[in-house]
Amino acid sequence: GKTMYLSDSHPSVQKIWAFDYDTDSGTPHNRRLFVDMNHHLGRPDGAAIDTDGCYWICGNDAGLIHRFTPNGKLDRSLVVPVKKPAMCAFGGPNLDTLFVTSIRPGGDISDQPFAGGLFALRPGVKGLKEPEFQG
């Protein structure tokens, strides 16, 4: 695609920015606010894009994976059994599984025994194939 996203999870920011991306020069430009996560549960963390152009992002500290439409509107949120989902990526033979990693915090985690786990969700959509690194 031609859009690049940047999520800033710092507690004083919590915003997701979109940029137009020049694939020839590798230069982002035209920064604009995509989503202000201060209006949603969880801090923005890792994300993936589906074939509808929707943006899936982990809501860290909230135990949620949010799906935003291409115009930045919340479409839905999926619950995961941990407080700190960290990164999501589509995979599997048909790219229809959303894999989610999570953070295992230090200290007592008896209230979240699955913290640090990897989860596989079936959200009913397919992800975009990621381009291979060209060196």
Binding-site residues, in ranges, read 45
Catalytic residues: 45
SS3 per-residue string spanning 51-116: CCCCEEEEEECCCEEEEECCCCCEEEEEECCCCCEEEEEEECCCCCEEEEEECCCCCCCCCCCCCC
Residues in the annotated binding site for a divalent metal cation: 45
